[in-house]
Structure 1
Amino acid sequence: MFKLNPVLIVLITICTASLFVNCIPRSSSYSKKPLTIKDFYNDAENKIEALNSVAAAFQRDNVSADSLQRTLTNARNAYKKIEIYIAYLYPKYANTRLNGAPLLKTKKSGNQPTVVPPEGLQVLDELIYADNPSLDKVKIAALTKKLKANYNSIAQTLKRSKPSTKILISASRMQLVRIFTLSITGFDTPGSANGLEEASISLQSINQLIGQSTIISRRNKSEINNIITRAIAQINENNSFDNFDRLKFLTQSIDPLYKLLGNISEEKSKGSIKKATAWNPNSKSIFATNFLNPYFFTQLNEEEDSPALRQLGEALFYDTSLSNNKEMSCATCHKPELAFTDGLKTSMSNIDGKNVLRNSPTLLNAVYAERFFYDVRAFNLEQQAEHVIFNSDEFDTDYSQLLASLNNMPSYKDTFKKAFDTPTVSRQKIASALASYVLSLQSFNSPFDKYVRGEIDQIGDDVKNGFNIFMGKGACATCHFAPTFSGLVPPLFIDSETEILGVLENPDATTPIIDTDEGRWKNGINAEAAWIYEKSFKTTTVRNIDLTAPYFHNGAYNTLEQVLDFYNKGGGAGMGLNVVNQTLPDAPLALSEKEISDVISFLKSLTDISVIK
């Protein structure tokens, strides 16, 4: 009997297997068995446990700072794989316990505020990647221990959950917003600047989780895989934080994927989380005109709004009879031709020879904020209007007299009846009408918006470069978040940030002096009367900024060049002033004159006054 040589048998087996493998059609990464959601949760749990152990060893001087940094990076990367669900299903918990910004907050304790220190991965990123992390080794160990407990507490619940396809798609789209607005801008990694790496990991996670769906079609999975592959390639091609082409990343990868997932959501399982966020899940671009729901920020419901109500609000806006001296209207300080500002350093008062304390901010897109006024003393548009009517330096009006006056005007009886089905004028109706009008002053059709949405083909290279600097090296987008380019924090867009910059009283003075306005600290809200808000002011939008000079709350800066120079020097603290709790990094940005010029070109490309008649 003929016997094959054992070596020959092995060779035949290998060759046969090789032929078999080569005959298998090539497929996408979905053909490989991906990790399950539970695997992601377990991986993050293990990496956070390792971070806790290494931090404890670092406290005892048993490991190096480099080792601690590597372990933190591993923990952050593992968290980024599952952040898509944690931050979507438990956003408040994620933002306060797991990965919140390293900013002090307050909570009410009796009649006095209590300062609450931040915790989580962002705080650890800032501490562990500091120049000398050993100075905070006790704090680092305590924070990692707390992080471990916080993560384990929520993970045990989430491991048992089985998110639907509707949640997967919606959470994926929200994660794309987070990647674009927080990861690649450096907001999420204030110490390590590892945002690009984390963006890549988040995208891979989306790809794997979608690959496991039995509802999403193979064709859609293939399209998603292609876009994500392209996005990751863009990151790998140029992973330099300062030089990464964020505009190309947005227009070729993030926004197309956001739109594709939105179309799938409509086909398969249309859902909404409108009550929890201002984000509109029905939008098809991060720069769409309907990306945010303006009614989220008002007491006015969309069903209650109408052209008649808006017209009434417009009439009231321009009516001087609302003021006590019958000479001032809302338009006195908010002129349409100046993007609803007044061009003055600080606005006029109703008292001759006197001005109010602060500069007049634009009303274009003013609705998109959680809080109103520079010191954020008002909580909605309706309150904002009432503050102006009552203010002794502004309208100084007694409401009972105002109501009596308007109720006696035949023209208003007709317009109130059209808007409310009754001619009676009331305080709430006035506030609702004014809110309706201000809400209508939306501005998302600038040349830059149209370029991102593909409605125009060209935009200047200086604008492109300026956007990339704004979103990257210049760190502008870590306070002026896209797409509103204000302090409205993504991806939920339910909180408005205030910042301490150390704004100067006079930027032209030989000796710099910090402005004396106390800001949020003195806004009359007891729960915020804390030192952490001393000289803290609302981060307003930079949209239409070319029309709204002078700048900052005190109107002391006449040009955009002055504003950029201030930031380039690191704010007041960067100039050597003692600024308590400055939230703006005091290190100089080292932007060149050309880079500053390009940023200004980008800012000017955000001009859109098409809503103005």
Structure 2
Amino acid sequence: MKFNQNCILKISLILCCSLVMMLQSCKKEYTPLKVQKELLADIENLELKTNYFQKLAEKETDLNKLKQAFAHTRLAYKKIEWAVEYFTPDPARFINGPALDELEVAENKFLPPNGFQVIEEILYPEYDSKNKTTLVREIKMIKANLNQVKQSISVITISDDFVLDAIKMQVNRILALGITGFDSPLAQLSIPEANIGLNSISNLISKMDYHGDESTKLVKEIVNSCSEASKYCQTNNDFFAFDRIYFITNFLNPIYKNLIAFQKTNAIKNIDQNSVVNPEATTIFDKNAFDVNAFIPSKEYQYTAEKVALGKKLFSENRFSKDNTRSCTSCHNPKLAFTDNLKTNVSLQGGKLARNTPTLTYASLQNAQFWDMRQLDLEKQSSDVIQNKEEMHGNVSNIIGFLNKDKAYFKLFQQAFPKSKQIQEWQVQNALASYVRSLNAFDSKFDKYMRGESNDYTNQEKLGFNLFAGKAKCATCHFIPLFNGTVPPKFNKTEHEVIGTPENQNNLKISPDLGRYKQHQMEQLKNAFKTPTLRNVAITAPYMHNGVFSSLEQVIDFYNKGGGIGVGLKVENQSLAPDKLNLNDKEIKALVAFMETLTDDKYVE
């Protein structure tokens, strides 16, 4: 059979196109497969180190050898932490979760902690060989969960969009949990472990198969930043002396910004793994970094400016109270960062309310409301207060008739809820909640400095932040950058703590308020209270659930002594470490100076 020249040319073109398509297909598959292959190899390496650690624990009593094996195993875990936490969060909890019971309050049960942090408490500061059985059991638990991780990782597709999303989370994890000592409070391995995490980020971004001058430039900048950050960790590895504010502003923030730029340059889609953090935010300190809609009950409760305008008017409405004398502003004064500066406010009967009025600023960025966390969202919070016999003794349904007849209100409701012909109870709750959701300014002196909008930050304030996130251990409960108990980097859980708050300043007796225990009779919840935000804390005195401390200095002194146990109280379930912090006067003043920089612009005199 003969072919003419045109026919041969067409066949050649078809073959060339087919070959190009095949190569492109292989190219697309290559990077994910390589990442997955390396990840599985790193998991196997961790398994080897875990096996060695177990054998050593079974026969060895030399503390230094055990600590060294522990450190090496942890570092191997930190190399793959970005993937384990992202792709397999359930086993991750039992590999490196907090050394506290995991409470399932809805089912009135708890899961005991397992993993590296439990092992750390066994080995540090001293190891008792009587705990050998427990130590070996915990190592075996890590091995079992690692096997689950390996099985999961081996069957999933690890595409570039997921890898990039996981990397971004890892940057925020290093920032908020890593360098603060959250998961290494005793061993203080946080800085070397941050170094390992950064190396993983550098390795992953360099493997992404994207071309073009801008992509090449961004990858180079990210790799260089990771390298410089790594060098900084190596030469500044002392946990207490580590300059965290310098590290964040000079390394972590630029890395995150370039990751976002790389994503946009290459049109890599956003993954809805973290609905709280805005995927467009260039750092976690951006004004728009957090989405209040991530904390709403369902879609119809979406935040809008019209709902805010309505909610603001309702916030001052006295008709919610039974005797028409109280509104939300009676306790939450807008001029005082929505507090009242009282130890506890006055009840309708003229007595004292049981608990201090918390600020409503940034209250929307929590997964539970009230000191005892009894309501999950702001909608339920508003109706709870209105119905409370000591606070308002009213009912939202009782005001609906008035609102439907009032022309000004009815117009605002039509604007806020255009699809509804009649005002409904849920809309009232949603409007009030929407107003509270508008109270997140993120414009404090601290915010502006972290965003690079201002250089106005004193050495004392920088020292205060470094103490807050280091020696003073404040950031292990009040997580950066919200400074409340909402746990980064996913922010899908808000924590409580048992700190042993005294009834009076003389520290002779623990507060009789049982906190969360009133709703859920579990021993771990006795005297447990939500970790509140410290934003605007300089103007929201007095402090604690009962307003027992009138100044920040008094609060710091309490923590400096080790909380309730440290001041001599009997607190069997205290979650706060009872050890002294050994903060001196200069450091206490610096901590106060830093916390004063968390005040929103509108409240600065």
Question: What TM-score do you get using the length of structure 2 for normalisation?
Answer: 0.90
Q: Which aligned pairs between 1:411-560 and structure 2 lie closer than 5 A? A: 411-421=408-418, 422=420, 424-507=422-505, 509=506, 512-522=508-518, 524=519, 528-560=520-552
- Residues 308, 611 of structure 1: alpha-carbon distance in 2 compared, 3 angstrom cutoff: farther
Give the equivalent residue in structure 2 for 1:17.
none
Q: Which aligned pairs between 1:171-570 and structure 2 lie closer than 5 A? A: 171-215=166-210, 217-274=215-272, 276-299=274-297, 301=299, 304-351=302-349, 353-421=350-418, 422=420, 424-507=422-505, 509=506, 512-522=508-518, 524=519, 528-570=520-562
Give the equivalent residue in structure 1 for 2:570.
578
| Offset, 1:138 | 1.3
Mapped partners of 1:166, 1:50: distance in 2:
31
Q: Which aligned pairs between 1:155-170 and structure 2 lie closer than 5 A? A: 155-170=150-165
Q: For the Cα contact (< 8 Å) 1:58–1:65, is it kept in 2? A: no
| Offset, 1:561 | 0.5
Instruction: Extract unaligned runs of 5+ from structure 2.
Output: 1-32
Q: Secondary structure at the match of 2:257?
A: helix
Q: Which amino acid aligns with 1:45?
A: E
Q: Secondary structure at the match of 2:484?
A: coil
Give me the CA root mean square deviation. Answer: 2.1
Instruction: Extract unaligned runs of 5+ from structure 1.
Output: 1-33
| Offset, 1:172 | 1.0
| Offset, 1:57 | 4.5
Mapped partners of 1:147, 1:363: distance in 2:
41
Q: Say yes or no: does 1:121 pair with 2:116.
A: yes
| Offset, 1:47 | 3.1
Q: For the Cα contact (< 8 Å) 2:277–2:284, is it kept in 1? A: no
Mapped partners of 1:318, 1:571: distance in 2:
38
Q: Which aligned pairs between 1:99-114 and structure 2 lie closer than 5 A? A: 99-107=96-104, 113-114=108-109
- Residues 113, 303 of structure 1: alpha-carbon distance in 2 compared, 3 angstrom cutoff: closer
Q: Which amino acid aligns with 1:379?
A: L
Q: Which amino acid aligns with 2:598?
A: L
The CA deviation string for residues 504-553 of structure 1, in whole angstroms up to 9 with x for no partner, is 1111x2x521111100111x2xxx32000100000001111111000000
| Offset, 1:52 | 4.2
- Residues 372, 303 of structure 1: alpha-carbon distance in 2 compared, 3 angstrom cutoff: closer
| Offset, 1:125 | 2.3
Q: For the Cα contact (< 8 Å) 1:313–1:436, is it kept in 2? A: yes
Q: For the Cα contact (< 8 Å) 2:337–2:603, is it kept in 1? A: no
Q: Secondary structure at the match of 1:512?
A: coil
- Residues 126, 273 of structure 1: alpha-carbon distance in 2 compared, 3 angstrom cutoff: farther
Q: Which amino acid aligns with 1:513?
A: K
| Offset, 1:85 | 1.5
Q: Which amino acid aligns with 1:124?
A: I
Q: Which moved more, 1:132-141 or 1:530-539?
A: 132-141
Q: For the Cα contact (< 8 Å) 1:443–1:611, is it kept in 2? A: no
Mapped partners of 1:131, 1:365: distance in 2:
41
Give the equivalent residue in structure 1 for 2:141.
146
Q: Which aligned pairs between 1:65-104 and structure 2 lie closer than 5 A? A: 65-94=63-92, 96-104=93-101
Q: For the Cα contact (< 8 Å) 2:339–2:358, is it kept in 1? A: yes
- Residues 125, 271 of structure 1: alpha-carbon distance in 2 compared, 3 angstrom cutoff: farther
Q: For the Cα contact (< 8 Å) 2:464–2:590, is it kept in 1? A: yes
Q: How many residues align?
A: 568
Q: Secondary structure at the match of 1:106?
A: strand
- Residues 234, 163 of structure 1: alpha-carbon distance in 2 compared, 3 angstrom cutoff: same
Mapped partners of 1:326, 1:125: distance in 2:
57
Query: Quick one: percent identity of the two aligned structures?
Result: 37
| Offset, 1:62 | 3.5
Q: Secondary structure at the match of 1:115?
A: strand
Mapped partners of 2:109, 2:474: distance in 1:
30
Q: For the Cα contact (< 8 Å) 1:346–1:356, is it kept in 2? A: yes
Q: Which amino acid aligns with 1:550?
A: P
Q: Which moved more, 1:196-205 or 1:117-126?
A: 117-126
Q: Say yes or no: does 1:606 pair with 2:604.
A: no
Q: For the Cα contact (< 8 Å) 1:413–1:423, is it kept in 2? A: no
Q: For the Cα contact (< 8 Å) 1:347–1:360, is it kept in 2? A: yes
Mapped partners of 2:100, 2:496: distance in 1:
10
Give the equivalent residue in structure 1 for 2:38.
39
Structure 1 runs (4+) greater than 6 angstroms displaced: none
Mapped partners of 1:442, 1:337: distance in 2:
15
Q: Which amino acid aligns with 1:44?
A: I
| Offset, 1:35 | 8.7
Mapped partners of 2:158, 2:256: distance in 1:
19
Q: For the Cα contact (< 8 Å) 1:340–1:363, is it kept in 2? A: yes
| Offset, 1:445 | 0.8
Q: Secondary structure at the match of 1:272?
A: coil
Mapped partners of 1:261, 1:54: distance in 2:
36
Q: For the Cα contact (< 8 Å) 1:40–1:81, is it kept in 2? A: no
Q: Secondary structure at the match of 1:513?
A: coil
Q: Which amino acid aligns with 1:125?
A: E
| Offset, 1:595 | 0.2
Question: What TM-score do you get using the length of structure 1 for normalisation?
Answer: 0.89
The CA deviation string for residues 308-353 of structure 1, in whole angstroms up to 9 with x for no partner, is 21111111111111111111111111101110001110122222x2
| Offset, 1:36 | 5.2
| Offset, 1:162 | 4.4
Q: Which amino acid aligns with 2:284?
A: I
| Offset, 1:160 | 4.2
- Residues 258, 187 of structure 1: alpha-carbon distance in 2 compared, 3 angstrom cutoff: same
- Residues 434, 400 of structure 1: alpha-carbon distance in 2 compared, 3 angstrom cutoff: closer
Q: Which amino acid aligns with 1:346?
A: T
Q: For the Cα contact (< 8 Å) 1:41–1:82, is it kept in 2? A: no
